[in-house]
Amino acid sequence: MQAMACRGTCRFGADMERTYGADILSQKDEVRTVTQQSPKTLFDKIWESHVVVAEEGKPSLLYIDLHLIHEVTSPQAFEGLRLAGRRVRRPDLTFATMDHNVPTDNPFDVRDPIAKKQIETLIQNCREFGIPLADLESPDQGIVHVIGPELGLTLPGKTIVCGDSHTSTHGAFGALAFGIGTSEVEHVLATQCLWQARPKTMKVEIYGERHPGITAKDIILGVIAKYGVGFGTGYVIEFAGPVVRDMSMEERMTVCNMTIEAGARAGLVQPDEKTFAYLRGRRFAPKGEAFDRAVEAWKQLATDEGAVYDKVLTFDVSSLVPQVTWGTNPGMCVGIHDVVPDPDSFPTEVERKAARQALAYMGLTPGMKITDIKIQHVFIGSCTNARIEDLRAAARVAKGRKVAPGVRAIVVPGSKHVKAQAEKEGLDKVFIEAGFEWRDPGCSMCLAMNPDFVPPGERCASTSNRNFEGRQGRGARTHLVSPAMAAAAAIAGRFVDVRELLDGKVALPEGGDSLGAAHSA
């Protein structure tokens, strides 16, 4: 299938780069500033600096700094513009890519007629309305929430929207980022603004000694397991505390990505020197003196001392172990050395009923050891865990070992840039030699909207963000884990503690460890 129509628009010139790097910082001044009155949270500062119209008791009209679009939730929005005779108000603040429907074994062999139509329609719409597009031939193509940060489109203090719930990922940079529906996509395309009710604010303070082998994925799964999938409903969550400060930018993206699984509107992390270092030199970030001025402005994006949140929660990572979900929502999660819980152990009838239904769907029984659960599929990818650090962690486990008999394991980089970096480091060879499939970028098995899916009744260790019924395919059974834990499951054929596997303490299927049981990768 030809996907060349907007190929030129995804290789921007200097004028376009200046637009993304400077104009997005402020629509009025070179650097957006915040008037100080009472102490404000990070969320307060971003929200209040973007309000166009506000009335007591009504939603506010917010200016949107960056609108990311993809092939699935945009077609109806563009058709609405045509029917109304409207143009895209700020095509220079809009960026498109193809990710959801893209086959990852051969991106150009799109056989599903609906997927093919959506991809072709996005090409046509971007050409007609002058929107930059990272199409299938662009070196910038990838999952929308991976390419935004790596290209420097995502910047602190921005408001960012996309027709995808995991837009919260960009909050790792101190941006207010959230998913919107198709009708809202049309509204933003037409006006560059969006009506939004002001959410409440929450701080989740993460502290304690983070032991080796405990990942950002384990931490956010642990938080959701402790407080439930609805604890963030109606809130924007700011993640704070020494553990968050010590995280890399890619780890923070994982945490903010799964804020949605806590029911929250968005997740935020205060920008700091790690943020600025990550962004320096990115294609669409400000350059030279403009970057230095931007950093000074971004340093204002910190919650003031004395600022009040609507709610504050804490989470101690000191006793956290690698996490594995057992049920059909991310809150149904336990440590690797635990057992499948008994539904009767839950405090409410609603929870007991949900647990019984989950166990029936997942084919598990109460009291079963997590380490006794065998898997047939492994998926390392998604907007949660498909960045270079994720692939390095998985490759460290895979190196010198073999995928267990009867297990199909695929690795799907989050973008072409991630794939290129991984291949430069030789990670692709590590995976291929171990028996993993090395794929092209796309959303892949996260949501089964493309040829990658889990067959009915089969079980998958997945680095994605959702384990709902049917998420990875009709009847598919999904267990959420970190990239390292997914790789360990691929090698062992069941869930194991990756730390023990690396220490040579896990018995592997015959031929599973070509370097010997005592090997530590």
Annotated binding-site residue numbers:
383, 443, 446
From the list 450, 453, 440, 454, the residue with the least C-alpha distance to 411 is 440
Q: CA torsion sign, 14 to 17 to 21 to 25?
A: positive
Compute how many other C-beta atoms are within 10 angstroms of the C-beta atom of residue 106.
12
HEC profile of 120-161: HHHHHHHHHHCCCEECCCCCCCECHHHHHHHHCCCCCCCEEE
Which residues are registered as beta bridge partners of 439?
none
Which two tokens mark 145?
């929430």
Which residues are registered as beta bridge partners of 333?
325
Compute how many other C-beta atoms are within 10 angstroms of the C-beta atom of residue 379.
28
Tell me if 5 sits within 8 A of 135, measured CB to CB: yes
Enumerate helices (H) and strands (E) in the chain, giving the number of each. Answer: 17, 19
Angle between helices 249-257 and 388-398 (to 10 degrees): 100
Q: What residues form the annotated binding site for [4Fe-4S] cluster?
A: 383, 443, 446
- The one-letter code for the residue type at 459 is R
CA pair distance 516, 381, nearest whole angstrom = 28
Tell me if 8 sits within 8 A of 139, measured CB to CB: no
**Largest CA-CA distance found in the chain, in angstroms, rounded:** 68
Tell me if 403 sits within 8 A of 490, measured CB to CB: yes
Tell me if 395 sits within 8 A of 418, measured CB to CB: no
- The one-letter code for the residue type at 310 is D
The count of C-alpha atoms lying within 13 angstroms of the C-alpha of 438, restricted to the half-sphere facing its C-beta, is: 20
The percent of the chain in helix, strand and coil, each rounded to the nearest 5, is 35, 15, 45
Tell me if 391 sits within 8 A of 423, measured CB to CB: no
Tell me if 68 sits within 8 A of 99, measured CB to CB: no
CA pair distance 515, 503, nearest whole angstrom = 12
Tell me if 243 sits within 8 A of 254, measured CB to CB: no
CA pair distance 345, 355, nearest whole angstrom = 10
From the list 312, 360, 308, the residue with the least C-alpha distance to 332 is 360
